[in-house]
Structure 1
Amino acid sequence: MWQAAARLHTRHGADLLMTVGTAGKLSQIEGDCFYLARAIQHDYGARKADAFVHYPPGEWPMGPANVEPYHAMPDPGTGLPEACITSGDAFIEDAHYAAHLVAALDADVVDMETAAVAQYAGNLGLPWAGIKATTDDANHESAGDFHANLLAASQRAAAGMERFIALL
């Protein structure tokens, strides 16, 4: 996803990077479609004997934990609840790991791409924004729930992005 963000920016002069789509729900946050206020990469760090310690991508994965989210541009008035998303290279189907992401990263939802877009934007000083609707609860039922809820969640996310674009 980082490469896609780079192409949009370099080839087309994008001055705002946006991501829209679906996510798994991690926390007890109210709602099923969210404005992404913060993004964190959840799968970069150090695997210790008793825990996984998270670090920002590109930093040395040792020493005390140091996680700083990438902050999105302020919500222009979509009316959507704000959430923190965490991204990584795995589809989460483990309620225990989902609970870890909530506790360790204060995450509300999870996907596989937003943090990469946010990281690219942050490295260049570009604003970014994202809207995600939930399909599942990041647990043992996620694969089936994802497929069952994908169309409806995609429509919610698209409607949220339409509201966002109209406000620009």
Structure 2
Amino acid sequence: MTGILDAALCRYRRHSTTILRISVGLVFVGFGVMKFTPDASPAEDIATRTMDVLAFGLVPSGATRPLLALFETTIGLGLITGVLLRLVLAAFFLHMAGVFSALLILPDEMWNGQLPTLEAQYIIKNVVLIAACLAVAAEESLRTTVVTPRPEPIHRVRAPL
């Protein structure tokens, strides 16, 4: 029995990063699509208020939710397809920085004394997505890094005098 399991895990290992990337992408598409519909996402209020602060109020309040929906859905589709993956990963990490900034920007809604509120817990659970995308980024870096061999040192041979 362990031989079958070991063989299956060996096959999985070859594709594990791809499966991880697609899984995070599906989560992002799901949560992004929800934000296209007003009041469908439980994080909508926190997300739009955080974006308003981060954008210094320059983004019209009516545009915040659809922009977040488009950004999250685009990140998700990029993770699913793997197209422009480095750019998508950069957008993902930028987005996560914005998400986690809510813990500081909106402290009254995020913390009940020293304990995180339900909204803060909703944000904090994203550390799992960050860890997953760090693994994807590390694999992508290994896959795309070109190793150039060092030139051999030139040894000069002196002619006898």
TM class, shorter-length: under 0.3
Higher strand share: 1
Considering only CA atoms, is the larger Rg found in Structure 1 or Structure 2? 2
Higher helix share: 2
